[in-house]
Amino acid sequence: MRTRKIVLSMFIIVGLLFNLNTIAQEKEKKTYKMAEITYMLPKIGMEKAFEDAVKGHNEKYHKTGPYKAGLDQILTGEETGWYVWAMGPCMFSDLDNRPKDDAHSSHWDKNVSPTIEKYGRSEYWKFLPEVSVYSGESKPKLIEIWIMEIEKENEHFFSRLLDMVKKVHIKNGNEYRVYNNLLKENNGRDKAIIFEQNNWAELDEDSEFMKTFKEMYKEPNSWEDFLKDWREMVKSNKSQIWRVGI
């Protein structure tokens, strides 16, 4: 009888630990940081009016919390001249209660819409802290963003490469962010890496990534193997410079 009680107690304890672990995992799954982005092209000659109108709208309806919004401008590449309106960090569950009453819509339609030539893509990007180095303390004027298409069967292996990249940047004291597109459209926009810049001159500086990589990973041909794996997993990479925090 004593043995049965001990066994039963052990099952109860294991069950409680399993439930606690499950609850913790569910909580972890529900907590993440996502950005909703919408591309907008202002009418020619109305760029400043567009910026002012969006800033006024954000100040009135998107000032704090998960609905806080900002505006960036694409400066290079085929999308030069487009702006990116970004809201967050938020989660999908936040979208059900986003500002959408008549006053909000009317304000946008009256002040912002007249300055817009057309709308572009709308996407949801999840921040990946596990492969990023980011304190959130800086306020850059520019960012360099890589938008990449990843071989689907290599997603797991690509994460391992990003882990190597993270260790190098930590040693160099450099920050960057990695995002995952949550609603992919098979259009070459799977992952994004963001590097912050204070000015254009920083693009001329050597990050010493290769030098530090070779110091950390001393195996023969480690750098060459890394580049080979990267090129095999990254099908395409579009690099752009954005003006941020308008």
C-alpha 14/C-alpha 230 separation (Å) is: 43
- The continuous run of DSSP H or E covering 22 comes out as helix 2-30
Q: Is residue 23 part of a domain?
A: no
Domain boundary among 126, 149, 172: 126
Q: Which domain holds residue 225?
A: 128-246
| Same domain, residue pair 67 and 136 | no
Q: What residue spans of 62-148 are helical by DSSP H? A: 102-111
- The predicted pLDDT at position 7 comes to 39
| Same domain, residue pair 142 and 244 | yes
Q: Is residue 91 part of a domain?
A: yes
Is residue 151 within 8 A of residue 235, CB to CB? The reply is: yes
Q: What is the pLDDT of residues 161-195, one digit of tens each?
A: 999 999 999 999 999 999 999 999 999 999 999 99
- The predicted pLDDT at position 188 comes to 95
Q: Is residue 203 part of a domain?
A: yes
Closest of 8, 152, 145 to residue 75, by C-alpha: 145
Q: pTM for this one?
A: 0.85
Closest of 151, 239, 162 to residue 197, by C-alpha: 239
Q: What is the pLDDT of residues 11-66, one digit of tens each?
A: 444 444 445 454 445 555 578 999 999 999 999 999 999 999 999 999 999 999 99
| Same domain, residue pair 176 and 65 | no
Domain boundary among 126, 141, 173: 126
Q: What is the CATH number of the domain that holds 57?
A: 3.30.70.100
Q: Is residue 19 part of a domain?
A: no
How is residue 134 written in tokens?
Answer: 């980011």
Q: Is residue 61 part of a domain?
A: yes
- The predicted pLDDT at position 147 comes to 98
- The predicted pLDDT at position 21 comes to 52
| Same domain, residue pair 90 and 152 | no
Q: What is the pLDDT of residues 69-89, one digit of tens each?
A: 999 999 999 999 999 999 999
- The predicted pLDDT at position 154 comes to 84
pLDDT over 50 (residue 104): yes
Q: What is the pLDDT of residues 137-165, one digit of tens each?
A: 889 999 999 999 998 888 889 999 999 99
| Same domain, residue pair 142 and 122 | no
Q: Is residue 188 part of a domain?
A: yes
C-alpha 131/C-alpha 179 separation (Å) is: 9
Domain count, the chain: 2
Q: Is residue 12 part of a domain?
A: no
Domain boundary among 107, 126, 145: 126
- The predicted pLDDT at position 30 comes to 74
- The predicted pLDDT at position 230 comes to 96
- Determine what percent of the chain is predicted with pLDDT higher than 90: 82
- The predicted pLDDT at position 31 comes to 87
Strand partners, 236: 149
| Same domain, residue pair 116 and 140 | no
Tell me the average pLDDT of the chain. Answer: 90
| Same domain, residue pair 56 and 69 | yes
| Same domain, residue pair 156 and 236 | yes
| Same domain, residue pair 225 and 199 | yes
- The predicted pLDDT at position 28 comes to 52
For residue 129, say if its preceding peptide bond is cis, omega within 30 degrees of 0.
no
| Same domain, residue pair 58 and 77 | yes
| Same domain, residue pair 41 and 105 | yes
- The predicted pLDDT at position 5 comes to 47
